[in-house]
Structure formats: C-alpha cells, structure tokens
C-alpha cells in the first residue's frame, strides 16, 4: 500500500505562450501551453486527491509580463485550487521577476485564503509543517546566501518538528541543464555542514531532477515535463512527499509528449518503432526526400517531426580554410562561402555576414583585453 502523501511539489512550470517546439492554432495559442496546462492540472489533482499541500518552487511563468493566453491558463488552474480549498505555496523564481516586481508578488495582492504567493523570505505553517521560503529576489549571491542562513537559524530555534526549506536559486555542485557543474550560486553543502534543521530541502531553477552530494535531504525538483531535446533520455515529473516517513516519489505525467532523436537515416523506411506521442528530430542524408520522412514518422504516431540534414563533406577548397584561418581570416570566410553557399543565396551576402561577425568578435576581444589590462594595473 502506498504511503499517504501530504506534500505535492514541483517547480519550473514556465507557463507561457512561446515555444519553438509547439504549433500555433488559429487563435494564436501555442500547443505547448496546453500541454503545460494539462500537466499543471494533473499536479493539482494529485494534491486534491491526497488532501496534500501543493508547492510550486518558482518559475511558475516563463516571463514576468503575462500575455492574455497565459493568464487564462493560470486563472483556470488557480480557480480549481480555490474551488477545492487546496493549501498552496507559489514561490517566486527568476523568470517571475522583472528586476523591480515579481508577477507572483502581484497575485499575492489577492490575499486568497491558504494560498500564498511568496516573493520575499517568509515562514509559512500549514498543518503540522513549517515551510521556510526563500524565493528568487534578484539579489546578489551574498544577499541570497544570508537569507538562507537566517532561515537555517529560525528553523533551528523552531518548536515545530517538521520543517521544509524551499528555494529557487543555482546551487554549487549541481548540474546545469547542459550537464556542466555549477560553479556559481550559493554553497548549500557548506551552509548545512554545521546545522541542517530541515527534514527536506526542495529547490527549483535547474530543470534536471537531481540531488547534491553531501546533502542527503536536498532535491532539485526539475521541470515536470520534457520541453526540448535536452530532455531526451531523462525522467521528468512532479514529486510527492510523506513528511512522516520522509519518503518521496517521482510521478511522471500521463500523456505528456516526449522527445526523440533518430540518426543516420538514408531512407524513410529506416525509421522504425513506436513514435506515439513523441516530438521527433530526424537526422537524414541530404538526398532523402523529407516528405517520406514526415509521412513515415506521422504514420508511426509522432505528433511533430523536425528534419535535419547531415552536412555534406567539405570540398577540397573548403578543407584548405582550416590552414588559412589563423593567418588570413577574411580569405578563409570568402573561400568557405564560395564553396558552401546554398543555391539561390547570394555569396556576397554570406561573406559580408561572416566578416561582420568576425569584426564583432575582434571588438569584444579588444574590450576584454582592455578590462584585463585595467584589472592587472
């Protein structure tokens, strides 16, 4: 029998009407906004079913300036929360913050019962759990660091036994979405070395679900759905937590599209397998008819297909570019453009664009050298 979950927590919903992956309907609504809405509703339904507290750890929105469609979706979900009396904490994230005002803080002006829009450090007690909330506020690393230290001290002195720390900030030692380790942010491991008075620490910001070595009760929640091809092969979902057993579980949303890449396609019939509810990127030889690829993928269940052409081998003239590049970059750009320009595109335009880019690089390098020289002096 599954344990009773009393906290349902997620982060980085990024509700917004812009996505390069989605398609736009005749009303101007991006299909990925509907997907995000449905996943959010599933998270809300889980909280309702378990009579649990719902927590969203930042980046509810993709931008602090909300378009009408995004507002409609959020209000639809918020009305469900209100109607079913679901205790909820919305933590402000960096995407919710404009530098002056947080969209989350603006919703706080509604003063809804048991629904907290947190845009400044706050301690909230719901039932038998105290939530120590540290939202993103556009502060320096040192200021954000001090806020967490204050919360640790407050939790240490609290008479409440069940304490959860909620964050939205880069954590040193965790991995960015691209896979590299974060070298900036604050050092949570060092902060909790001497005192860690929390039964659990949840954070938003990085989209990959992950822990932190040396802090066993820490969890980056990750985005609740796949939103691009960087999520291929990764598990995404929302988290349910039992505050008595301290057990947690990942719930993967039902019917949420996944991303899939197919490589080395020399003919459409090479594509095989079940592509149901998948957004597919196909890397194919230049000679393969794209219509055949689209037809094949859609027949196998794909909901969107992107075709990428494999690059042609470089000509002998273009091969020579790598030897000339360091000594004569302008000549290198001209040779490369003449050898590789697509049909119906003016070669001169490509050369001009390349030279402009080169000049921009040189300008930035010069500025960097000036700054370095000033620092050295």
CA distance 369 to 366: 5
pLDDT at 183: 86
Give the tokens for residue 372.
Answer: 């370095």
State the angle between helix axes of 68-83 and 31-49 in degrees (0 to 180), rounded to the nearest 10: 10
14 half-sphere exposure, CB direction, 13 A CA radius: 16
Domain boundaries, the chain: 7-251, 257-312, 318-377
CA distance 255 to 247: 25
SS (H, E, C) 79-95: HHHHHCCCCEEEECCHH
pLDDT at 317: 57
Residue 79, Cβ density class (10 Å: 0-12 exposed, 13-18 middle, ≥19 buried): exposed
Best CA proximity match to 88, nearest among 160, 13, 149, 33: 13
Per-residue pLDDT of the chain (377 residues; tens, 9 = 90+): 456 899 999 999 999 998 888 888 889 999 899 999 999 999 999 999 999 999 999 999 999 999 999 999 999 999 999 999 999 999 999 999 988 888 999 999 999 999 999 999 999 999 999 999 999 998 888 888 899 999 999 999 999 999 999 999 999 999 988 788 988 888 999 989 989 999 999 999 999 999 999 999 999 999 999 988 888 888 899 999 999 999 999 999 987 899 999 999 999 999 999 999 999 999 999 989 999 999 999 999 999 999 998 776 656 555 555 544 444 666 777 777 777 767 667 777 777 777 777 776 666 655 555 445 444 44
pLDDT at 71: 96
pLDDT at 356: 77
SS (H, E, C) 53-82: EEEEECCCECCCCCCHHHHHHHHHHHHHHH
pLDDT at 354: 77
Best CA proximity match to 276, nearest among 252, 304, 251, 253: 304
pLDDT at 249: 95
pLDDT at 311: 72
Sign of CA dihedral 217, 218, 224, 230: negative
What is the DSSP secondary structure assignment for residue 269, as one 8-state letter? G
Fold category of 7-251 in CATH: Purple Acid Phosphatase; chain A, domain 2 (3.60.21)
What is the DSSP secondary structure assignment for residue 42, as one 8-state letter? H
pLDDT at 20: 80
Residue 370, Cβ density class (10 Å: 0-12 exposed, 13-18 middle, ≥19 buried): exposed
pLDDT at 368: 53
Best CA proximity match to 255, nearest among 51, 37, 9, 82: 37
What is the DSSP secondary structure assignment for residue 215, as one 8-state letter? E
Best CA proximity match to 44, nearest among 33, 59, 35, 55: 55
- The H-or-E segment that residue 163 falls in is strand 162-168
């Amino acid at each position: 029998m599954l344990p009773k979950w009393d906290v349902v927590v997620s982060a980085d919903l990024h509700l917004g009407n812009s996505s390069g992956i989605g398609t736009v309907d005749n009303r101007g609504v991006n299909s990925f906004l509907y997907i995000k809405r449905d996943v959010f509703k599933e998270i809300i339904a889980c909280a309702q079913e378990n009579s649990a507290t719902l927590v969203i750890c930042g980046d509810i929105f993709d931008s602090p300036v909300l378009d009408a469609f995004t507002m409609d979706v959020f209000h639809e979900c918020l009305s469900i929360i209100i109607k079913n009396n679901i205790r909820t904490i919305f933590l402000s994230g960096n995407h919710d913050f404009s530098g002056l005002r947080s969209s989350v803080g603006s919703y706080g002006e509604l003063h809804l019962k048991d629904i907290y829009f947190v845009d400044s450090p706050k301690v909230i007690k719901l039932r038998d759990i105290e939530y120590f909330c540290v939202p993103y506020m556009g502060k320096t690393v040192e200021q954000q660091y001090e806020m967490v230290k204050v919360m640790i001290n407050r939790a240490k002195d609290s008479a409440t036994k069940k304490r959860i720390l909620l964050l939205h900030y880069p954590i040193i030692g965790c991995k960015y979405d691209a896979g590299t380790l974060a070298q900036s942010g604050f050092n949570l491991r060092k902060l909790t070395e001497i005192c860690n008075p929390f039964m659990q620490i949840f954070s938003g910001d990085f989209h990959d679900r992950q822990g932190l070595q040396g802090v066993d009760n820490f969890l980056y929640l990750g985005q609740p759905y796949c939103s691009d091809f960087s999520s291929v092969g990764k598990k995404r979902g929302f988290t349910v937590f039992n505050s008595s057993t301290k057990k947690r579980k990942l719930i993967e949303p039902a019917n949420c599209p996944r991303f899939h890449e197919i490589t080395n396609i020399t003919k459409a019939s090479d594509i095989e397998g079940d592509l149901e509810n998948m957004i597919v990127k196909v890397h194919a030889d230049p000679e393969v008819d794209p219509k055949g690829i689209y037809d094949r993928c859609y027949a196998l269940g794909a909901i969107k297909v992107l075709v990428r052409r494999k690059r042609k081998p470089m000509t002998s003239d273009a091969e020579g570019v790598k030897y000339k590049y360091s000594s004569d970059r302008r000549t290198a750009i001209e040779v490369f453009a003449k050898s590789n320009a697509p049909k119906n595109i003016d070669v001169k335009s490509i050369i001009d664009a390349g030279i402009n880019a080169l000049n921009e690089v040189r300008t930035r390098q010069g500025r960097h050298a000036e700054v370095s020289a000033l620092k050295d002096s």
